[in-house]
Amino acid sequence: MSQPALSPNTRGLHIITWGCQMNVYDSARMADVLQPLGYRPVETAEEADMIILNTCHIRERAAEKVFSELGRLRLICEARKAEGHNTLLAVAGCVAQAEGEEILARAPYVDLILGPQTYHRLPEMVARVARAGKTVIETDFPVETKFDFLPEDAAPQTNGNLTAFLTIQEGCDKFCSFCVVPYTRGAEISRPVSSVMAEASRLVQSGVKEITLLGQNVNAYHGLEDDKIVGLAGLAERLRTIPGLERVRYTTSHPRDMDQSLIDAHKNNPILMPFIHLPVQSGSDRILKAMNRGHTAEEYRDIIRKLRQARPDIALSSDFIVGHPGESDKDFEETLQLVRDVTFASAYSFKYSPRPGTPAAGQPFQVDEDVKDKRLAILQALLREQQDAFNASLVGTVQDILVTNTGRKKGQLNGRSPYLQPVHFEGDISIIGQVVKVRITDQLTNSLSGVLL
């Protein structure tokens, strides 16, 4: 979407976002907290007075990618300087948290370095960098939470979108063997119910119809309401009372926190979409144990059975890691078997990538790269087959589609199925924003097409 030209008192803000949906949310909130200082989003780094690189540390060569991007951005800042503009360069997110000192040493031209839990301090950091004339770094885990500092009255910058993210829980205390998140995002915290409800209401007032609740362990949500603790099922029940909110999703869930109340909510609460991202990582009990996941493959299958009992049209997606240290051919075969047993509508799969400072990185029996490559290809082929079969199974059915925007062809509309598939069909633009019935007629490569009923 093109941005209006900047007025003389405003400054351009360009945020580059890598990583998960939580980073997408954080980038939007950084824009919110910088708004009172006159910063407004601009399309390109070349027009910006401040550039923020919001980084991800989850897999291989994260830091190297950051340094190479910083090299590019530095040139842009220098060119801007030659034209008389002082452009601030900031590194935020999980690499800033994990490698702040390294960034300071290797890229001293960076003005601001801040971790995911300190972005509410951005305005103050901007003032400090102007005074100090050298890099300002904030990578401690503050006692106050950033959520208490989000500008409550600011109109949410939804860009007219009908769908939005809302972070309700953050951080992780689970310490899976392979994962950096507990180190980069810090301890698990949940936002109070009232703060989530207020933000959800603001989003709906600005036109949002579908909210995706975010958390690294979103179903471990335990927000305070008065002095009582409310879980995710309870929160979804409260969200159901917001008039105009049509759909709620949540991601990412952990199997250990998939309790009966949440499973029941999928039967009883119609705003919860029948599509859950529930990472399992491996189908081998030996590897699940080495990963410190805290559940067995059978316990995962059992959760899926209960979910399908509660809501027969539910579909699943998941994350897999191949080649965790110690993974044998037999372990990998058990992962394939789990995939065949459960059947997924979509999934993400990755080669294990040793992350500095995590327990698995130091373990013996690292799996050879070419073995990881082969296993990944086999797993991805199976998952692709299942995804195609799932999409094909919808052809002929009638689905509730949230109409999101006009399509590329004249008279065409785009929408989103309960399972997050893009759906194209013909219709009048007046129904944008509504949930309508569409009969699915065709399966395209990454989308579906249908006819409006």
- The residue among 35 and 349 lying less far from ligand SAH, judged by its C-beta, is 349
Which residue carries 């500092």 as its tokens? 149
Number of H helices, E strands in the chain: 12, 21
Q: Which of 232, 349, 212 is nearest to 279 (CA)?
A: 349
Given ligand F3S, ligand SAH, ligand SF4, none, residue 23, with its beta carbon under 5 to 8 Å by kind, binds ligand F3S
List residues binding ligand SAH (CB under 6 A).
58-59, 178-179, 181, 216-217, 252, 254, 279, 281, 319, 321, 350, 352-353, 355
- The residue among 181 and 367 lying less far from ligand SF4, judged by its C-beta, is 181
- The residue among 38 and 182 lying less far from ligand SF4, judged by its C-beta, is 182
Contact (Cβ atoms closer than 8 angstroms) between residue 65 and residue 53: no
- The residue among 247 and 324 lying less far from ligand F3S, judged by its C-beta, is 324
344-434-25-390 Cα dihedral, nearest 10 degrees: 10
Given ligand SF4, ligand SAH, ligand F3S, none, residue 57, with its beta carbon under 5 to 8 Å by kind, binds ligand F3S
CA distance 288 to 255: 12
Given ligand SAH, ligand SF4, ligand F3S, none, residue 145, with its beta carbon under 5 to 8 Å by kind, binds none
Tell me the torsion sign for CA atoms 326, 328, 330, 335. Answer: positive
- The residue among 201 and 353 lying less far from ligand SAH, judged by its C-beta, is 353
Contact (Cβ atoms closer than 8 angstroms) between residue 262 and residue 231: yes
- Binding string, residues 247-286; x marks residues near ligand SF4 by CB under 6 A: -------x--------------------------------
Concatenating the DSSP letter of every residue in 77-144 gives HHHHHHTT---EEEEEHHHHHHHHHHHHHH-TT--EEE-TT-GGGHHHHHHHHHHH-S-EEE-S--SS
Minimum distance, C-beta of residue 412 to ligand SAH, in the bound complex (Å): 34
Kindly state whether residue 174 participates in binding ligand SF4, applying the rule CB under 6 A.
Answer: yes
Q: Which residues 174-203 are close enough to bind ligand F3S by CB under 6 A?
A: 180-181, 184-185
Q: Which of 121, 142, 103, 128 is nearest to 33 (CA)?
A: 121
Q: Which residues 363-402 are close enough to bind ligand SF4 by CB under 6 A?
A: none
Three-class SS state of 443: strand
Q: Which residues pair with 424 in a beta bridge?
A: 414, 449
Helices (H), 206-284: 232-239, 260-268
Kindly state whether residue 146 participates in binding ligand F3S, applying the rule CB under 6 A.
Answer: no
Given ligand F3S, ligand SAH, ligand SF4, none, residue 59, with its beta carbon under 5 to 8 Å by kind, binds ligand SAH
Kindly state whether residue 218 participates in binding ligand F3S, applying the rule CB under 6 A.
Answer: no
Q: Which amino acids are annotated as binding site for [4Fe-4S] cluster, given as ranges? A: 20, 56, 94, 172, 176, 179
Kindly state whether residue 176 participates in binding ligand SF4, applying the rule CB under 6 A.
Answer: yes
Q: Which residue from 12, 41, 93, 274 is in contact with ligand F3S, where contact means CB under 6 A?
A: 93
CA distance 15 to 113: 14
Tell me the torsion sign for CA atoms 300, 305, 311, 317. Answer: positive
Minimum distance, C-beta of residue 23 to ligand F3S, in the bound complex (Å): 4
Biggest alpha carbon–alpha carbon distance for the chain: 65
Q: Which residues 46-65 are close enough to bind ligand F3S by CB under 6 A?
A: 56-58
**Residues binding ligand SF4: what is the number (CB under 6 A)?**
10
Q: Which residues 321-340 are close enough to bind ligand SF4 by CB under 6 A?
A: none
Angle 56-420-300 from CA coordinates, rounded to 5°? 75
End-to-end CA distance of the chain: 30
Q: Which residue from 38, 182, 207, 359 is in contact with ligand SF4, where contact means CB under 6 A?
A: 182
Minimum distance, C-beta of residue 223 to ligand SF4, in the bound complex (Å): 19
Residue 421: CB atoms within 10 Å: 24
CA distance 250 to 348: 17
Q: Which residues 192-231 are close enough to bind ligand SF4 by CB under 6 A?
A: 216-217
**Burial of 401 from C-beta contacts in 10 A (0-12 / 13-18 / 19+):** buried
Stretches 151-159, 175-183, 239-247, 259-267: which one binds ligand SF4 (CB under 6 A)?
Answer: 175-183
Inter-CA distances, 431 with 208, 253, 401, 451, Å: 14, 33, 11, 14
Binding region for ligand F3S (CB under 6 A):
19-20, 22-23, 56-58, 93-94, 180-181, 184-185
Binding region for ligand SF4 (CB under 6 A):
172, 174-176, 179, 181-182, 216-217, 254
